[in-house]
Amino acid sequence: MPYYVYILASQRNGTLYTGSTTDLERRIGEHRSGTGSRFTSAYKVFRLVYVEPHDDWEEAHLRERRIKRWRRRWKLRLIEATNPDWQDLMAAEEASD
């Protein structure tokens, strides 16, 4: 079963949220419906801008915790290394279905 570490953004260079899940589509849906977390709902942090798959839950959880402790500029570099245009990766995946 894959595990995912993800970063959501309110907009390019906006507010960021880091999380982890076993069901990425369900979890992003929860965030977008306002039931994912108070933080994402309050700050309108719904755009999936970074995803990192892992084979092991402990590895994914550890990675999530590490990223959460990072400085903001490190997170921005991580996002821009794989998604320089800050596209909503969930919207891109839905369009390809």
Q: In the chain, where are the structural domains located? A: 3-91
To the question of domain 3-91 being in CATH 3.30.450.40, the answer is: no
Please give the pLDDT value at position 53. 97
The model's pTM is 0.93
Q: What is the overall mean pLDDT for the chain?
A: 94
Tell me how crowded residue 48 is: count the other CB atoms within 10 A of its CB: 24
For the chain, what is the total number of helices (H) and then of strands (E)? 5, 3
CA dihedral for 67, 72, 73, 76, sign (positive or negative): positive
Structure tokens given for 71: 């400085």
Q: What is the pLDDT of residues 25-69, one digit of tens each?
A: 999 999 999 998 999 999 999 999 999 999 999 999 999 999 999
Alpha-carbon span 37 to 8, nearest angstrom: 12
